[in-house]
Structure 1
Amino acid sequence: MILMKDIIREGHPSLRKRAEEVDFPLTDEERKLSGELLEYVINSQNPEMSEKYGLRPGIGLAAPQVDQAKRMFALHIKEEGQDPISFVAINPKIVSHSVEKTYLVPGEGCLSVDRDVEGFVPRYARITVKAFGPDGKEFKKRLKGLPAIAFQHELDHLNGILFYDHIDPKNPYRDIPGATPFERD
């Protein structure tokens, strides 16, 4: 089980490296990692589990955040009135995206960043993605809103990018042309 002590923090060199493609079939170690990434985000959103194990709540976790340079992450998102989104993405890619941008109000956070970093992080409002599940089957999804933002955040981790790299350091809350703000309920 992944705990907060297993998640590396900003400043660790692994967070700035591009992760490697994963070959199929997965090794036992990779299969275990994929399950543990998803288990963490699910458990971290459960108040009892979160308190019992000292887990910081998160909706996504990428393999590089646990010092594994593999192109793999998990998302688990429950929004009011929406079907839950819960999956592991291996070798994920964005195959198309909207021209329209969005950003999360009041900003993004990250399990590898222990401080608040203020500012808007521009993201595509809608994306179509392809990835493989742990079973080796390819899937395609259309995402918008919070799932699209979270997918892009986690994909950045696989490329050695942290969310605050997208924030304008001189004007963190500058207007993003053509962007619609996204607010969580």
Structure 2
Amino acid sequence: MIKMEDIIRDGHPALREVAKEVSLPPSSEDKKILSDLLQYVTNSQNPEIAQKYGLRPGIGIAAPQINISKRMFAVHLEDGQGNLHSYALFNPKIVSHSVEKSFLTSGEGCLSVDRNVPGYVHRYSRVTVTGLDLEGSPVKLRLKGLAAIAVQHEIDHLNGIMFYDHINLKDPYNEPPGSIPLER
């Protein structure tokens, strides 16, 4: 089980590396890591389990955050319409995206960042993502809203990009014309 002490923090060099593709078919070790990532986000949202193990709540986590430089992540969240989005993907890729941008009005946070970083992170409103699930079967997801934002945040981790890299330092609360604010 992944715990907070397993999650590396901002400033660790592994968070700035481009993660390597997972060899296919995925090994049992890689499947276990990906399963553990999904278990972390699921457990972290359960108040009893989170309190018992001192887990910080999160909706996504990528392998580089536990110092494993491989292209895999998990997200587990409920969107504004009450739909559950629970995905664990090997070698995810954004294959298409909207021109339209959106952002969370509360800003973004990260399990690897222990400080509050104020500002809006502008991301694509809609994305289509491909990858392989825990069994190694191909998956194609069309996502919007919070699910699209979460997946883009995790794919950034696979590319050595932190969420605050997207914040305009001169005008952190800039709202480009036509961008959609999302409440969390």
TM range (shorter): over 0.9
Deviations 1:112-143 (A, max 9, x none): 00000000000000111111112111110110
* Larger CA deviation: 130-139 vs 77-86: 77-86
Question: 1:169: which partner in 2?
Answer: 169
Question: 1:38: which partner in 2?
Answer: 38
Q: How does 1:1-185 map to 2 (within 5 A)?
A: 1-79=1-79, 81-184=81-184
1: CA distance between counterparts of 2:104 and 2:88? 22
Q: What is the alpha-carbon root mean square deviation over aligned residues?
A: 0.9
* Larger CA deviation: 159-168 vs 26-35: 26-35
CA contact (8 A) 2:79 2:147 kept: no
- Segments of 5+ residues of structure 1 without an aligned counterpart are none
Q: Partner amino acid for 1:130? A: T
1: CA distance between counterparts of 2:177 and 2:117? 21
Q: Quote the offset at 1:20 in angstroms.
A: 0.2
Q: Quote the offset at 1:178 in angstroms.
A: 2.1
2: CA distance between counterparts of 1:166 and 1:100? 16
1: CA distance between counterparts of 2:132 and 2:28? 16
Q: Quote the offset at 1:16 in angstroms.
A: 0.1
2: CA distance between counterparts of 1:96 and 1:177? 22
1: CA distance between counterparts of 2:131 and 2:120? 27
* Larger CA deviation: 10-19 vs 82-91: 82-91
Q: Partner amino acid for 1:143? A: L
Q: Partner amino acid for 1:160? A: G
Q: Quote the offset at 1:79 in angstroms.
A: 3.4
Q: In percent, how many aligned pairs have the same letter?
A: 59
Q: Quote the offset at 1:83 in angstroms.
A: 2.2
Q: Relative to 1, partners in 2 of residues 1:80 and 1:50: Cα closer, same or farther, differing over 3 Å? A: same
Q: Quote the offset at 1:109 in angstroms.
A: 0.1
Q: SS in structure 2 opposite 1:102?
A: strand
Q: Partner amino acid for 1:104? A: L
How many aligned residue pairs are there? 184
Would you identify which runs of 4 or more consecutive aligned residues in structure 1 move more than 4 Å?
none
